[in-house]
Amino acid sequence: MSDPPALLVVDGVAKSYGPIPILRQITLAVPPRSIVGLVGENGAGKTTLFNIITGLAKADSGTMLYRGKPYAPRSFGEAFSMGISRVFQEQSLVLNVPVYENMLLSQEHRFTRFGQLVDRRAMIRVAERIVREAGLDVDVRRAAGEYDFSRRQAIEIARACLAPKHLMGLEDPLVLLDEPTSALDQKDETAFADLLARMRAHASFIFVSHRLTEVRELSDSIIVMKDGVITGTLTPQEADEKTLHGLMVGRDRADDFYHLDKQRASVVSPVVCKADRLSGADFHDVSLEVRAGEILGIGGLLDSGKSALGKAIAGVQRPKAGSVTMGDRTTTRPNISKLVRMGLGYVPAERLVEGIIASFNLAMNLTLPSADRFSPRAIWRNGMERAAAQAAIRQMRIRSGTPTVLLRDLSGGNQQKVVLARWFLRELTVLVLDNPTRGVDAGAKEEIYQHIRELTGKGVGVILVSDELTELIGLSNRILIMQRGAIAIEIPAPPESKPTEHDLIPHMLPKAA
């Protein structure tokens, strides 16, 4: 029996922006009701390919077939009307709007009476059918913001998979998943995998993720991209992480991925930052200290309060009680501006919201926290700024980077490198990192880990908040596990005797009553 025809065929697609080629003769096929994994470094061309498939960009050459017919959408709306949709890395739900309106956003014309009145009851009925078929326990009348990140992600996926069926009668749509698990912890990753397994009975997927293990577990086939070309198409059985890394990066993954040779076996040095009985909206009575040259890891589930704690220590969110001490100065009202002047740096988890100004260029984003250095007499030193930007581009290997490139024109991983690089311009004592490699490919992760080790080698104390247990284990000297806003346990993580994920996970999960 022959295989069914491919749902989508991309044949020889190429795309350049100015003189820079982004895609070069991309050819691939997506079978019906399948999950095709797509991996590659930041800047490999994955997002551009997704933009072309969903009508947000036009290919310079090449063709596409969808359901056996020529396909060249002129807009995202046209792609959606034909049954192709996309779940973006950054969630697109309007949080203060009910779930049913989010699910049917831009499709209200299908529910109007007399050309003016919107039949909200009909919209609610359709949205309820979608969540019921997806197996979600969601009240579509409630505002989307009342649900946690993981549930909102499930709502977006259900909308992408089932709205074409219930609105247009289209079976087997194609859904492009762009880093859908980058902000999920382990528990929510499992829920995502279960949802995807149910949804594949209704749809096909192209799944982009930098988490290679989950790509191997979820995909029927895996396509690898590097520098705008496909370097390999493998089965999950063929695609061990070392092979994938080599095809993505062009070199084998280093055996010492976390640079353990640079981690001190024990850190006996001055305390550079201390939190004493710190409490906030999502955590309470937390005390900790980090020493010069040490990486203190903080892990836990998404609702454990770990990110809120990092923000409080960095002065991004004011705590309700407690104090933060840096050196010999203690404050009960930590403020990031004052702490930065005292030698603290902070890398947020949500770079587009808190980390960058996308409409500013690279040089301006890089020097945002260092106005005192670049304008000592209230005159901005443009030449000095450009030189610093060029040095950061070389040091961090920022692809397609020039001092004048707008941050919105860089890939997510290269944007993250800029956020990290800005702190290398200052004399740091403490660096608070919240998921510093979220949305970053394996090759860039290794480089970022090396830079973090270089900072600790200079005596900088690092507080590392991360959802990735392997990252916490590989980098940290000690790991604090938080549960329900409090520290549940401290686990040593010396280079010669690292704990395992199985050692950490039981302390993250609430004990049954």
Q: Over the stretch 387-404, which tens digit does the pLDDT of each residue have?
A: 888 888 888 878 766 888
Torsion from C-alpha of 137, 141, 147, 152, nearest 10 degrees: 80
What is the rounded distance in angstroms from the CA atom of residue 471 to the CA atom of residue 460?
19
Dihedral sign for Cα atoms in the order 383, 384, 385, 387? positive
Q: Which residue has the tokens 């009575």?
A: 285
Q: Which residue has the tokens 């979820």?
A: 218
Q: What pLDDT was estimated at residue 475? A: 94
- pLDDT average, residue stretch 253-275: 80
Residues 22 and 140 in one domain: yes
348 is a domain residue: no
Inform me whether the pLDDT recorded for 22 exceeds 70: yes
Instruction: List Cα–Cα distances, 479 to 54, 85, 101, 252, in angstroms.
Output: 42, 40, 42, 29
**In b/e form, how buried is each residue of 65-85, taking b as 16+ CB within 10 angstroms?**
bbeeeebebeebeebbbbbbb
Inform me whether the pLDDT recorded for 42 exceeds 70: yes
Q: What pLDDT was estimated at residue 481? A: 96
- pLDDT average, residue stretch 444-472: 90
Mean pLDDT of the chain: 87
Residues 420 and 446 in one domain: no
Q: Kindly give the residue spans of alpha helices, DSSP state H, lying in 297-424.
A: 306-314, 336-342, 362-366, 371-374, 382-396, 412-421
Tokens (6 digits) for 8: 């989508």
Residues 81 and 94 in one domain: yes
What is the rounded distance in angstroms from the CA atom of residue 208 to the CA atom of residue 411?
14
What is the rounded distance in angstroms from the CA atom of residue 382 to the CA atom of residue 374?
8
- pLDDT average, residue stretch 232-239: 90
Residue type, 118: V
Residue range 307-322, pLDDT digits in tens? 999 999 999 999 999 9
Residue 4 CB-density burial (10 A; 0-12 exposed, 13-18 middle, 19+ buried): exposed
Q: Are 51 and 177 in contact (CB under 8 A)?
A: no
Residues 328 and 410 in one domain: no
For strands 295-299 and 478-483, give the pairing: parallel
Residues 16 and 163 in one domain: yes
- pLDDT average, residue stretch 21-26: 91
Cα angle for residues 85, 87, 90 (degrees, 5° grid): 145
Inform me whether the pLDDT recorded for 165 exceeds 90: no
Residues 368 and 496 in one domain: no
Is 464 strand, coil or helix?
A: strand
Residue range 148-161, pLDDT digits in tens? 777 888 888 888 88
- Highest averaged pLDDT of the listed ranges 337-341, 369-373, 429-433, 444-448: 429-433
Q: What pLDDT was estimated at residue 134? A: 83
Residue 3 binned pLDDT confidence (cut-offs 50, 70, 90): low
63 is a domain residue: yes
Give the DSSP letter of residue 143.
B
Q: Are 255 and 307 in contact (CB under 8 A)?
A: no
Residue 371 binned pLDDT confidence (cut-offs 50, 70, 90): confident
Tokens (6 digits) for 477: 């000297």
Residues 333 and 318 in one domain: yes
Position with higher pLDDT, 478 vs 379: 478
The CATH number given to whatever domain includes residue 91 is: 3.40.50.300
Q: Are 444 and 433 in contact (CB under 8 A)?
A: no
Cα angle for residues 418, 424, 425 (degrees, 5° grid): 100
Is 344 strand, coil or helix?
A: strand
Residues 319 and 331 in one domain: yes
Inform me whether the pLDDT recorded for 130 exceeds 50: yes
Position with higher pLDDT, 252 vs 146: 146
Residues 309 and 365 in one domain: no
Instruction: Single out the residue of 148, 99, 91, 107 nearest to residue 124, CA to CA.
Output: 99
Inform me whether the pLDDT recorded for 245 exceeds 90: no
Instruction: List Cα–Cα distances, 11 to 28, 36, 60, in angstroms.
Output: 7, 16, 12
What is the rounded distance in angstroms from the CA atom of residue 81 to the CA atom of residue 164?
7
Residues 475 and 512 in one domain: yes
Residue 324 binned pLDDT confidence (cut-offs 50, 70, 90): very high
2 is a domain residue: no
260 is a domain residue: no
Residue range 352-367, pLDDT digits in tens? 777 788 888 898 888 8
Residues 33 and 82 in one domain: yes
- pLDDT average, residue stretch 115-144: 88
Domain end point (choices 426, 461, 485): 426
Residue 504 CB-density burial (10 A; 0-12 exposed, 13-18 middle, 19+ buried): buried
Q: What would the 3-class secondary structure string for 87-137 be?
A: ECCCCCCCCCCEHHHHHCCCCHHHHEECCCEECHHHHHHHHHHHHHHHCCC
Inform me whether the pLDDT recorded for 270 exceeds 70: yes
Tokens (6 digits) for 112: 């109007």
Q: Are 166 and 125 in contact (CB under 8 A)?
A: no
500 is a domain residue: yes
Residue range 184-203, pLDDT digits in tens? 666 667 777 888 888 888 88
CA 246 from chain centre, in angstroms, equals 22
Domain ranges, residue 369: 357-426
Inform me whether the pLDDT recorded for 140 exceeds 70: yes
- pLDDT average, residue stretch 82-97: 83
Instruction: Single out the residue of 277, 303, 287, 297 nearest to residue 508, CA to CA.
Output: 303
What is the rounded distance in angstroms from the CA atom of residue 222 to the CA atom of residue 243?
12
Q: Are 475 and 435 in contact (CB under 8 A)?
A: no
Q: What is the percent of the chain where pLDDT is above 70?
A: 94
- Highest averaged pLDDT of the listed ranges 60-64, 416-420, 465-469, 507-511: 60-64
Residue type, 212: L
**Where does 171-328 show beta strands of DSSP type E?**
174-178, 204-208, 221-226, 229-234, 271-279, 286-291, 295-299, 321-326
271 is a domain residue: no
Residue 489 binned pLDDT confidence (cut-offs 50, 70, 90): very high
What is the rounded distance in angstroms from the CA atom of residue 286 to the CA atom of residue 19?
53
Residues 33 and 140 in one domain: yes
- pLDDT average, residue stretch 243-249: 82
Residue 284 binned pLDDT confidence (cut-offs 50, 70, 90): very high
Inform me whether the pLDDT recorded for 441 exceeds 80: no
What is the rounded distance in angstroms from the CA atom of residue 221 to the CA atom of residue 40?
14
Range name among 201-205, 285-289, 490-494 with the lowest pLDDT average: 201-205
Domains identified in the chain, total number: 3
Q: What pLDDT was estimated at residue 513? A: 45
234 is a domain residue: yes
495 is a domain residue: yes
What is the rounded distance in angstroms from the CA atom of residue 147 to the CA atom of residue 388?
43
